[in-house]
Structure 1
Amino acid sequence: MTACAPPPASSEPQEPVLAVDQVAGYWALTEVGGGAQCELALANLIVEGVRPARTENCGLPIVAKARSWRATEGGFQLLGADDGVVMAFRRTDEDAFEEVAGRYRLTRAPLS
């Protein structure tokens, strides 16, 4: 007989992957300290195998590289054309995210 042991406990609690509707939508991205800003649209649908991301009015080259996104544990990632992670965000409030390095913040933007 073999016994099935549970996986070793992680030293940090695992957060669930966020639901798509908690991330999808229209966002205002601002640089902490009042720097550059962008508008970011995260689609709620899958097109050609990915959830599209679109930037508008954006002077930040790193953010402009984003082509898609995916929900993660406690946040989401912006992905480039090669599916590499461009930026990663963690949820800080119901309608707010912060880049994991703390340089940028996202808040839900009203649709005009």
Structure 2
Amino acid sequence: MPSRVRSSAPSTCTTSRSRRSPRSKERLIQYLERFAQDLVTLGGRIALPIGELEERGRVEPLLRLAAARESADAAPGDAGHAERTAYEKWAPRPPASAGSPPYTSPTTFAWCP
């Protein structure tokens, strides 16, 4: 059985980036521009129903449901802690006060520019 040797080759991200044709890069840029525009457009449409849910006090149960689903795969003895941690991530943050940094999402995405 051959042994595995760590390659000094660039990461997959870098390698695949350098192999793309200019046409496929342009298509990707166009797709991302459309995606960003759709996200901006839909953001306003999504914000209105969320605002209505907040006014009716209906957000809290939805946040608890999201936290429960997110923590569903936790170990049985750790389920309660996992759900509380997930809820804290989903729960609304108070507005940033002067001098404190603004809230940023705990979710980060890695991608190849």
TM range (shorter): under 0.3
> TM (normalized to structure 1)?
0.25
Structure with greater proportional strand content: 1
When Rg is computed on C-alpha atoms for both structures, the one with the higher figure is: 2
Structure with greater proportional helix content: 2
Q: Which has the higher contact order (CA 8 A, sep 6+)?
A: 1
